[in-house]
Chains A and B, each alone.
Chain A
Amino acid sequence: MISVEVKNGSLLDVQNLNVTYKSTMFRVDAVKDVSITMNKGECIAIVGESGSGKSTLAMAVMKLLPPYATVTADKIMFNGVDILKVNDKELAKIRGKDVTVIFQDPISYLNPIISVGDQMIESLSSHNDKITKKEAYEQAIDLLKKVRIADPERILKMYPFQLSGGMAQRVFIAMAVSANPKLLIADEPTTALDLTIQAQILKLLNSLRKEFNLSIMLITHDLGLASYIADRIYVMFNGKVVEEDLAEGIFSQPVHPYTQMLIASSQAIYHGRTRELSKTISDMGKVEKGKKACDFADRCAKSSEACYNEPQLVKYDGTKKVRCWLVE
């Protein structure tokens, strides 16, 4: 792990972010009062199950959510720029250049009727006015080689639907690092890929991180992946952060019952201790479902009367913050 100076939030500072999806048919509070910070060169992971709001959080930071999502926050500062106040043109300059995003299922995030080469060249030209098409082409070849694609010329001629998932993700990563960004947001980059490819992609991300001094925000449901690359981890449940700490702290001393459950489950699966797994799957919380309470209470084995009130996120022991009555 690369150690970092705790100059809190020098790269990214998000305070009290709220995101609500609203339409005529439904209303979902996807992210509730979440604050995260990142320092230059740091790598964080946001871990949670589906519906925890982690992807929404990542997209919200760069205002990439659809119009039916309402985003409010006290502060979103990226690299000194106030994202909340900046206009669209300025934002477009930052995106792709200082902040880039890679997505789950990369093939669907590429334009299906334009060749890979044309899309890469377009990306390269958009952040460098003076580059010629030929130069961009050469650069694209170099980038593809850098992400360990063996036959770049052939790939550039292809269309997205002709690529494999792993290949497409590499192309995406190549485009993402092309402008030497400060922050790479990776939204479940390996979830849709085969297990062996997953490892490759993560190794690639790690090496690129060292080579470019890149900060990475990894969104994932897999604590194992998070442990591989993250300096600090935020655990999210139901739109809120329930525990945040340095990576070692999360694994050596998980405090929130949900975190403990996550760790126990992944260990049980990895080590074949499935009997222990059943102990962790608890939907027999002692709190009645439906009554206003801590979000996790009805799945929590350690719930009690106190859990009928919503706990706050508080500091606990140095770098850790936890949202649970067990610590308050």
Chain B
Amino acid sequence: MPGGTKEYLLKRTVISFLMVPAVVIFTFFLLRLAPGDPAVLMAGEGASPEFVEMIRETYGLNKPLHEQLIIYLSKLFTGDLGYSFTFKRAVIDVIFERIPLTLLLAGTGALIAISLGIFLGVLAAIKKDTLADNVISSTTLIFYSIPIFALAQFLVLFFVIETRIFPLSGYVSLGLSWSDGLRYVLDVGWHLALPAISLALIQMATYVKLTRTSMIEALYSNYIIAAKARGLDSRKILFKHALRNALLPIITVAGIQLGLIIGGVVITETIFSWPGVGRLTIEAIDARDYPLLMGVFIFTSISVIIANIVTDIVYTYIDPRVKLR
């Protein structure tokens, strides 16, 4: 592979990672803009003066601003995101504890959204302008417009309150743990169902719409006409030629979606009391735990940046027009 692509990717990666300090500095100053004494804010309501003073010392809040920034950045490099006074633990520990559950939820939601979305999109494209297409497109449009906190609550109303099929909150029933093996897994799955479906339904709309458009464009392309003229099997034309081309833009969008769905995850975790990083954000907000909040923010930013880089890399390798520039 020619050196051009590797260099390009490297350059992109470096620039992307430079965003992290930029994000940190940005939030840092944003935080300092808050009215009032930051030490008091961080110490929380009803904190003793000694505690406030301790906070001030630990974070060097009495030092000039640029020194504070340097302190924070250097701590960041060692993986020290600060101390959460709500949880009485290091921020980074609190966050890492919650990551697996958020990954489980977001991952499951995305998986369902992408697979169902592509399936329905292809179906709508093949049966363009028929009843099936119109139904799919209209339903998609509605799901695209409904906010997730409304949709999730409808699901709760029907499946939890009215019919009691699914549980409301948490990720596992009381008393169960890993040691219970399959029962545990099934129980978690049972708790996972509704929140994951909520997330999936909202995201799916984007994928259906995109796949449909992308697929239609592919199906009307010249190379498909030529493939037909060569007498190729129609199924082969559909999957090997049209779909493969149609999927390329979807990869890019999937990457972008990862960044956009964070809001959705926060809301879903809140509604279903799913103890992940999203709900942590709200807990941090309610408690005015700024170190924790900043930590969560930086963490999510890094995740988004990494996701974007990965998407870039994947796309570069898959599309020969980009790979062989």
Any A–B CB pair closer than 8 Å:
yes
Given A111-B223, A112-B223, A159-B324, also A175-B244 (CB < 8 A): no
Contact with B along A42-70 (1 / 0, CB 8 A): 00000000000000000100101010000
Q: Which of B225, B232, B248 contacts A92 (CB 8 A)?
A: B232
Q: Which of B228, B230, B321, B324 contacts A123 (CB 8 A)?
A: B230
Which of B220, B225, B319 has the most chain A CB within a 10 Å cutoff?
A: B225
Which of B223, B234, B240 has the most chain A CB within a 10 Å cutoff?
A: B223
In the complex, chain B residues 229-257 whose Cβ is within 8 Å of any chain A Cβ: 229-234, 236, 240-241, 244-245, 248
Q: Contact between A88 and B234 (Cβ–Cβ < 8 Å)?
A: yes
Q: Contact between A112 and B245 (Cβ–Cβ < 8 Å)?
A: yes
Q: Which of A94, A95, A110, A159 contacts B320 (CB 8 A)?
A: A159
In the complex, chain B residues 208-234 whose Cβ is within 8 Å of any chain A Cβ: 220-223, 225-234
Determine if A161 is an interface residue (Cβ-Cβ < 8 Å): yes
Determine if A126 is an interface residue (Cβ-Cβ < 8 Å): yes
Shortest Cβ gap from A25 to chain B (Å): 14
Q: Contact between B234 and A110 (Cβ–Cβ < 8 Å)?
A: no
Q: Which of B226, B236, B320 contacts A103 (CB 8 A)?
A: B226
Residues of chain B within 8 A of A101, CB atoms compared: 226, 229
Shortest Cβ gap from A91 to chain B (Å): 8
Determine if A93 is an interface residue (Cβ-Cβ < 8 Å): yes
Residues of chain A within 8 A of B240, CB atoms compared: 114, 122
Closest to B220 in A: A66
Residues of chain B within 8 A of A109, CB atoms compared: 222-223, 225-226
Q: Contact between B225 and A64 (Cβ–Cβ < 8 Å)?
A: yes
Query: How many angstroms from the CA of A100 to the CA of B228 in the assembled complex?
Result: 10
Closest to B323 in A: A159
In the complex, chain B residues 301-325 whose Cβ is within 8 Å of any chain A Cβ: 319-321, 324
Contact with B along A30-49 (1 / 0, CB 8 A): 00000000000000000000
Given A108-B223, A111-B241, also A95-B230 (CB < 8 A): yes
Residues of chain B within 8 A of A127, CB atoms compared: 231
Q: Contact between B230 and A100 (Cβ–Cβ < 8 Å)?
A: yes
Residues of chain A within 8 A of B223, CB atoms compared: 108-112
Q: Contact between A97 and B231 (Cβ–Cβ < 8 Å)?
A: yes
Determine if A117 is an interface residue (Cβ-Cβ < 8 Å): no
Determine if A162 is an interface residue (Cβ-Cβ < 8 Å): yes
Query: How many angstroms from the CA of A113 to the CA of B318 in the assembled complex?
Result: 9
Which of A64, A94, A111 has the most chain B CB within a 10 Å cutoff?
A: A111
Residues of chain A within 8 A of B221, CB atoms compared: 108
Q: Contact between B227 and A111 (Cβ–Cβ < 8 Å)?
A: yes
Query: How many angstroms from the CA of A111 to the CA of B230 in the assembled complex?
Result: 13
Closest to B241 in A: A111
Please count how many residues in chain B sit with their CB below 8 Å of the partner chain's CB atoms.
24
Query: How many angstroms from the CA of A95 to the CA of B227 in the assembled complex?
Result: 10
Determine if A96 is an interface residue (Cβ-Cβ < 8 Å): yes
Residues of chain B within 8 A of A175, CB atoms compared: 230
Contact with B along A154-176 (1 / 0, CB 8 A): 00000101100000000000010
Residues of chain B within 8 A of A113, CB atoms compared: 244-245, 248, 319-321
Residues of chain B within 8 A of A112, CB atoms compared: 223, 245, 320-321
Query: How many angstroms from the CA of A161 to the CA of B320 in the assembled complex?
Result: 9
Closest to B318 in A: A113
Shortest Cβ gap from B137 to chain A (Å): 16
Contact with B along A73-109 (1 / 0, CB 8 A): 0000000000000001000111111001101010011
Q: Contact between B324 and A162 (Cβ–Cβ < 8 Å)?
A: yes
Q: Contact between B229 and A95 (Cβ–Cβ < 8 Å)?
A: yes
Q: Contact between A92 and B231 (Cβ–Cβ < 8 Å)?
A: yes
Residues of chain B within 8 A of A59, CB atoms compared: 225
Query: How many angstroms from the CA of A60 to the CA of B241 in the assembled complex?
Result: 23
Query: How many angstroms from the CA of A88 to the CA of B235 in the assembled complex?
Result: 12
Q: Contact between A159 and B228 (Cβ–Cβ < 8 Å)?
A: no
Q: Contact between A100 and B229 (Cβ–Cβ < 8 Å)?
A: yes
Q: Which of B222, B232, B248, B324 contacts A96 (CB 8 A)?
A: B232
Q: Which of A94, A103, A108, A111 contacts B231 (CB 8 A)?
A: A94
Q: Contact between A103 and B222 (Cβ–Cβ < 8 Å)?
A: yes
Q: Contact between B229 and A161 (Cβ–Cβ < 8 Å)?
A: no
Query: How many angstroms from the CA of A58 to the CA of B80 in the assembled complex?
Result: 71
Query: How many angstroms from the CA of A162 to the CA of B321 in the assembled complex?
Result: 9
Query: How many angstroms from the CA of A110 to the CA of B224 in the assembled complex?
Result: 8
Q: Contact between A126 and B321 (Cβ–Cβ < 8 Å)?
A: no
Q: Contact between A92 and B226 (Cβ–Cβ < 8 Å)?
A: no
Query: How many angstroms from the CA of A235 to the CA of B220 in the assembled complex?
Result: 29
Closest to B226 in A: A109
Residues of chain A within 8 A of B220, CB atoms compared: 66
Closest to A65 in B: B225
Query: How many angstroms from the CA of A66 to the CA of B240 in the assembled complex?
Result: 20
Query: How many angstroms from the CA of A66 to the CA of B228 in the assembled complex?
Result: 11
Query: How many angstroms from the CA of A161 to the CA of B233 in the assembled complex?
Result: 24
Interface residue ranges, A against B (CB under 8 Å):
59, 62, 64, 66, 88, 92-97, 100-101, 103, 105, 108-115, 122-123, 126-127, 159, 161-162, 175
Please name 23 pairs of A and B residues whose Cβ atoms are closer than 8 Å in the assembled complex, sorted by A.
Answer: A59-B225, A93-B231, A94-B231, A96-B231, A101-B226, A103-B222, A108-B221, A109-B222, A109-B223, A109-B226, A111-B245, A112-B245, A112-B321, A113-B319, A113-B320, A115-B320, A122-B232, A122-B240, A126-B232, A127-B231, A159-B320, A159-B321, A159-B324
Please provide the 4 A-B residue pairs with the shortest distance between their CB atoms, ordered closest to farther.
Answer: A96-B231, A95-B231, A109-B226, A96-B230
Other 18 A-B pairs with CB < 8 A, given A64-B229, A94-B231? A64-B225, A92-B231, A93-B231, A95-B231, A96-B229, A96-B230, A101-B229, A103-B222, A108-B222, A109-B223, A111-B245, A112-B245, A114-B240, A115-B320, A122-B232, A126-B231, A159-B324, A161-B320
